[in-house]
Structure 1
Amino acid sequence: MTSHDKAKWLRFLILILGGGTIYKLANLKDAFYIPMQEFMGLSHTEIGVLLSANAIIATALFVVGGVLADRYDTRKLIPLGLIGTGSLGLYLATFPPFSNLLIVFCLLAVCADCIFWPSLLKAIRTLGDDKEQGRLFGLLEGGRGVIDTLVAFSALGVFVAMGSGENGLKSAILFYSVIDILAGTLTWLLLKGGNTQSTVKPKNGMSNLLEAIKVPGIWLVSLNVFMVYIVYCGLTYFIPYLKEMYGLPVALVGAYGIINQYFLKILGGPAGGFIADKHFKSSSRYLKWAFLALLPLMGVIMLIPKNPGFIYAGMAATLSFALIVFSMRGVFWAPMGEVGIPQHITGSAFGIGCLIGYAPGMFAYVIYGAILDHFPGQQGYNYVFSLMSVLAIVGFMVSSLLYQAVRKNSTVTGKVSAAQA
């Protein structure tokens, strides 16, 4: 391995560190959904409102974040987002009233989704050429899963050590906050001197944005991310589903949530990247068939008898479903290279992609949560899971269109290369 390669992978690992820590506070529900209800007094719908408020601000600012990533040094923006997030967590640990919680979750979106995330995506893309994008983004998702799992299980350990009550939840939130601040400090120190910027310096952020808007492939990639993400949002409700339908012990609810939301990234992200690159030779083609694979698994989930004797079958089926979704998340940005996005507008392209792709966070949690509150018990979960299945079918159709666009771009690019030869 050359010194250049060593430097590249060191920067990659540093970026993973930030990517695996920054969303813990905004996604507190992943490991502490039930404690949030019990000790913060939040209903399904209220948790959904907090998540939606976070997503609304995030979606509104993704394009701004993309322009910032093209115009300013990502080595400064990435630590700024991490330290800002940790600082907000210190206040979140005081359990402020719901109106203040809304403000906190909105500000978390500013730090994580506007300042940090588009800069991270740009930094990852500039680490390799278009042939490496599936692997790089897949390894990003997998690496984040490692950090996610370690940090989340540590927070769960803090929660249990502090009595598994109100003080335990506050201590876990403080733990997340300190980790974010430390990660921000480390990235600030260790990314200095690295080249995470594009070699082409943008002259004007708005001109880059306007150029990106005119690239047709961006819109298909963005819509494809939208469909993966709206199905992904439904994974959260496997947690209360197993508790209510199968009697999953409270002590295991947090552990299952961590495995469901974090550990599976370790397997799914890299697996999706390598399968897409090596077997399917195209991330968009892999996504197309992965959407179809979700349908029989959801059928199994809904047909398994609802009694404690089948709890392990229920866990296995839901985790299998989630694994495929995480393999899709690992590569859903890779088609940015397949559709021919120029390097110098990468930040703006990802800003547009995030604006559309992550939009389900604005409403999906509220819809899913409201369905469960309005239709308690198995009926509500049947409605939610049926809706996720319909969305997977729509996702298959969108991915098919994206793959056609990728093939068309490859044909045009090949002809141009042949003409220039």
Structure 2
Amino acid sequence: MTAQAKAKWLRFLVLVLGGGTIYKLSNLKDAFYIPMQEQMGLSHTEIGTLLSVNAIVATALFVVGGLLADRFETRKLIPLGLIGTGALGLYLASFPGFNQLLIVFALLAVCADCLFWPSLLKAVRNLGEDGEQGRMFGFLEGGRGVVDTLVAFAALGVFVVLGSGAAGLKGAILFYSVIDIGVGLLTLLLLRGARQDNAARDPVGFSGLLEAVRVPGIWLVSLNVFMVYIVYCGLTYFIPYLKEMYHLPVALVGAYGIINQYFLKVLGGPAGGFMADKGLKSPSRYLKWAFLALLPLMAVILSIPRGESYIYAGMAATLSFALVVFTMRGVFWAPMSEVGIPARITGSAFGIGCLIGYAPGMFAYIVYGALLDHFPGEQGYTYVFSLMSVLAVIGFLVSSLLHRAVHKRVTRTTNEALA
């Protein structure tokens, strides 16, 4: 391996490390959904409201983040976002009231989704060639899954050692906070000497945003991400579903949540990237068929009887569904290359894509949570999971349109090259 290749992958590993730690606090519900209810006194709807406020602020600032990523060096924005997130976590560990929690979750979005995420996406895209975008983003998702899983299980260990109560939850939050600050300082040091891509060093500004808006394919890519993400939001409710319908112990529910939300990235990200690049030769084509594969898996989940004796069947079925979703998350940004987004406006393009694609976070958790609060028990989960199935059908249609547009572009480009 050449020195240039080693530097490329070292930079990539540093980016993965940051991407796998920064969202732990804003997604505290992944491993600690039940403790948040019991120790912080939050209902399904209140947790959904916190997540939605976080998503509303994030969505409002994604385009700003894209402009910042094109305007300033990503090696400065990435550490700033991580350290800011950790500082907010130190306050979150004091269990502030609900109104204060709303402010904290809003500021977490500023650090993670405005300062950090568009810069991360731009940095990753600039590391890979057009023919390896699926694998680069797949490895990003898979690498984040490794970091996610290790850090989350460590936090769960802190929670259990400290008694699985209020002290345990505070300890886990403090653990996440210290990790964020530490990784932020690490990226500040290790990215300092990294040479910036030539295209990335030229400030683009608002003109780059206008240029990105005029690329037709960006809207289909963004809508496709929207559909994957709105189904992904529903994975959160597999956690209380197994607790209420199959009587999982709280600690085991936490372990399941970590596997469901984090470890599956390790398998799903690289698997999705490989199948998209090497199998179907197109990320957009893979996404189309993956949406369709979700329907029979959800049918199995809904058909398994409830009760302790079927606990392993319920876990296997929900994890299988989540695995397919994570293969899709691993490659849903890769079509940015397929639709012809110039590298120099990548930050602006990802800002627009995030604005639309992650918009479900503004309302999906409230909708899902409200269904569960208004229809307690099995009926509420049936409504939530049925809604996810309908959304998967719509996602299949959107991905089909995206793949058709990509195919037309490839055909046109080939004909022009031969002319």
For Structure 1 versus Structure 2, the TM-score category normalised by the shorter chain is: over 0.9
Aligned partner of residue 25 in structure 1, secondary structure? coil
Q: Aligned in 2, Cα 1:99/1:380: closer, same or farther, shift over 3 Å?
A: same
Count of matched residue pairs: 419
Is 1:349 paired with 2:354? no
Residue 39 (structure 1) aligns with: 39
Residue 173 (structure 2) aligns with: 173
**Structure 1: 5+ residue runs without aligned partners?**
none
CA distance in 1, matches of 2:255, 2:83: 27
Residue 399 (structure 2) aligns with: 399
Aligned partner of residue 199 in structure 2, secondary structure? coil
Aligned partner of residue 305 in structure 1, secondary structure? coil
Contact 2:291 2:395 (C-alpha < 8 Å) held by counterparts: yes
Contact 2:294 2:392 (C-alpha < 8 Å) held by counterparts: yes
CA distance in 2, matches of 1:200, 1:78: 15
Residue 69 (structure 1) aligns with: 69
1:238 alignment partner AA: F
CA distance in 2, matches of 1:240, 1:393: 25
**Structure 2: 5+ residue runs without aligned partners?**
none
- Offset at 1:258? 0.2
2:395 alignment partner AA: G
What do the CA deviations read for 1:272-318 (whole angstroms, capped 9, x no partner)? Answer: 00010001000000000000000000000000001110000000000
- Offset at 1:199? 2.8
Residue 363 (structure 1) aligns with: 363
2:10 alignment partner AA: L
Contact 2:218 2:353 (C-alpha < 8 Å) held by counterparts: yes
CA distance in 1, matches of 2:198, 2:304: 50
Contact 2:204 2:344 (C-alpha < 8 Å) held by counterparts: no
Aligned partner of residue 95 in structure 2, secondary structure? coil
2:144 alignment partner AA: R
2:159 alignment partner AA: F
Contact 1:32 1:254 (C-alpha < 8 Å) held by counterparts: yes
Residue 97 (structure 2) aligns with: 97
Contact 1:73 1:197 (C-alpha < 8 Å) held by counterparts: no
Give the structure-2-normalised TM-score: 0.99
CA distance in 2, matches of 1:219, 1:82: 29
Residue 277 (structure 2) aligns with: 277
Residue 340 (structure 1) aligns with: 340
The percent of aligned pairs where both chains have the same amino acid is: 78
What do the CA deviations read for 1:323-354 (whole angstroms, capped 9, x no partner)? Answer: 00000000000000001000011000000000
- Offset at 1:203? 4.2
Residue 267 (structure 2) aligns with: 267
- Offset at 1:373? 0.1
What do the CA deviations read for 1:17-67 (whole angstroms, capped 9, x no partner)? Answer: 000000000000000000000000000000000000000000000000000
What do the CA deviations read for 1:181-211 (whole angstroms, capped 9, x no partner)? Answer: 0000000000112135453544441000000
Contact 1:123 1:196 (C-alpha < 8 Å) held by counterparts: no
What do the CA deviations read for 1:64-102 (whole angstroms, capped 9, x no partner)? Answer: 000000000000000000000000000000000000000
Residue 251 (structure 2) aligns with: 251
Residue 143 (structure 2) aligns with: 143
1:57 alignment partner AA: V
Residue 20 (structure 1) aligns with: 20
CA distance in 2, matches of 1:118, 1:417: 33
Deviant stretches of 4+, over 4 Å: none
Aligned partner of residue 126 in structure 1, secondary structure? helix
What do the CA deviations read for 1:233-288 (whole angstroms, capped 9, x no partner)? Answer: 00000000001001111120100000000000000000000010001000000000
CA distance in 2, matches of 1:125, 1:98: 38
CA distance in 1, matches of 2:167, 2:203: 51
Contact 2:244 2:377 (C-alpha < 8 Å) held by counterparts: yes
Contact 2:75 2:191 (C-alpha < 8 Å) held by counterparts: yes
Contact 2:298 2:389 (C-alpha < 8 Å) held by counterparts: yes
Aligned partner of residue 330 in structure 1, secondary structure? helix
Aligned partner of residue 281 in structure 2, secondary structure? coil
The Cα RMSD (Å) is 0.8
CA distance in 2, matches of 1:167, 1:203: 47
Give the structure-1-normalised TM-score: 0.99
Q: Aligned in 2, Cα 1:48/1:294: closer, same or farther, shift over 3 Å?
A: same
- Offset at 1:412? 1.9
Q: How does 1:129-140 map to 2 (within 5 A)?
A: 129-140=129-140
Contact 1:80 1:115 (C-alpha < 8 Å) held by counterparts: yes
What do the CA deviations read for 1:369-404 (whole angstroms, capped 9, x no partner)? Answer: 000000000000000000000000000000000000
CA distance in 2, matches of 1:184, 1:197: 21
